[in-house]
Amino acid sequence: MSPRLRSYPAAPPQEPDLALDVPSTLSILEGFVKTEVERTGLHRVVLGLSGGIDSALAAYIAVRALGPSGVVGVLMPYRTSSPSSVKDAEAVVGALGIVAERFEISELVDVFSAKAGNVGPRRLGNVMARVRMLVLYDRSVEHDALVLGTSNKTELLLGYGTIHGDLASALNPLGDLYKTQVRELSKALGVPKAILDKPPSADLWPEQTDERDLGASYDELDRILALLVDARVSPGTVVAKGFRRETVLRVRKQIMRSQFKRRLPLIAKVSTRSIGWDFRYPRDWNS
């Protein structure tokens, strides 16, 4: 009889890897905000505080980078915004001791949508997002500040945002963090529990939630995205790992369809040196 060999398992196959080293990640993000703001000669950022987790985390990171006097939080409720959104945003202001401003967008949005005619909920949502952008860029001049973006990687990849609205910013510390990672960092930084626990929502109409809009939970979406995008795994293999085929294919389609939101507008090339193709300078040119 042959001696018995003990069997050892091989390394597990590629799994979605969303784990973060919290201290190092925060240190990179903090350094990013500080360095990229100060190299422009400015010392301040302005950001919209929605009462949600993304803008809360962005504010916490910005305070670590620039101190409370370097962060201006703007609350921009619409008349149908949930009162708890305003309360949660005020909790962030209170916890961080930052400068806060309130700018009601209801009149501007209503005047615009009345003039534009029957806009419907989707267009109304876009109008709100763009009015908020208008307010933030205007306040940024008043405060000698840069507009800090708060879109996370899940939203950016799925195109779940308004171009020239909430997607507009000068710099974005959250753009390479999935929603579940935003949650992890927010928890570590002590973002108020009410914000951590509530279901994410764009709050453009009552009862709206992100996960209803997106048709899947962030946990599932992030794991699919981490495989498709970060690990470069094929959709077929992602499905073979047990994810719903319909969701995987929809995610892939949404990533492709929203590419335009992640790039500058196309320019027709009619010269020897065209912006984007052969006029290629870094954004941090000479700084």
Partner 1 sequence: MQTVRVALAQIAPKLGNLEANLEIHLDAIRLARREKAGVVVFPELSLTGYVLRDQVPEVALNRQAPLLKKLLRAASGIDVVFGFVEDAPGHRFHNAAAYASKGKIVHVHRKVYLPTYGMFEEGRDLAAGDVIRAFDTPRGPAGILICEDAWHPTTAWILVQDGAEILFALSSGPTRGAKPRRGVTSLPVWHELLRTTAQFQTSFVVYVNRVGYEDGLNFGGGSIALDPFGRTVAALPALSAGLTVAELDAEVLRRARAAYPLLRDENLELVHRETARLRQERFLLPDPLPPPRSR
* φ/ψ of residue 268, rounded to 5: -75, 125
264's tokens? 């500058």
Minimum CB–partner distance for residue 50 and partner 1 (Å)? 24
Beta carbon nearer to partner 1, 54 or 88: 54
Beta carbon nearer to partner 1, 181 or 201: 181
Looking at the DSSP assignment, which residues form a beta bridge with residue 102?
75
**For the chain, what's the residue count?**
287
Nearest to 39 by CA among 195, 148, 146: 146
Minimum CB–partner distance for residue 21 and partner 1 (Å)? 4
**Helix (H) or strand (E) segment spanning residue 73:** strand 71-75
Q: How far is CA 88 from CA 30, 139, 197, 223, in A?
A: 23, 22, 11, 28
Sign of CA dihedral 175, 176, 182, 187: negative
Beta carbon nearer to partner 1, 139 or 261: 261
218's tokens? 């962030």
Minimum CB–partner distance for residue 176 and partner 1 (Å)? 8
Residues 6+ apart with CB under 8 A from 151: 54, 161, 166, 167, 169, 172, 174, 175
Residues 6+ apart with CB under 8 A from 205: 80, 121, 124, 125
Strands 45-48 and 146-147: parallel
Contact 125, 162 (CB under 8 A): yes
Beta carbon nearer to partner 1, 39 or 164: 39
Task: Catalog residues that contact partner 1 under the rule CB under 8 A.
Answer: 17, 19-21, 24-25, 27-28, 31-32, 35-36, 171, 176, 279-287
Beta carbon nearer to partner 1, 271 or 287: 287
Minimum CB–partner distance for residue 62 and partner 1 (Å)? 15
Minimum CB–partner distance for residue 112 and partner 1 (Å)? 34
Minimum CB–partner distance for residue 33 and partner 1 (Å)? 10
Beta carbon nearer to partner 1, 62 or 75: 62
Minimum CB–partner distance for residue 185 and partner 1 (Å)? 11
Q: Helix H segments across 143-234?
A: 153-158, 179-189, 193-197, 210-214, 218-225
Sign of CA dihedral 169, 73, 134, 130: positive
Minimum CB–partner distance for residue 65 and partner 1 (Å)? 12
Beta carbon nearer to partner 1, 21 or 207: 21
Beta carbon nearer to partner 1, 28 or 111: 28
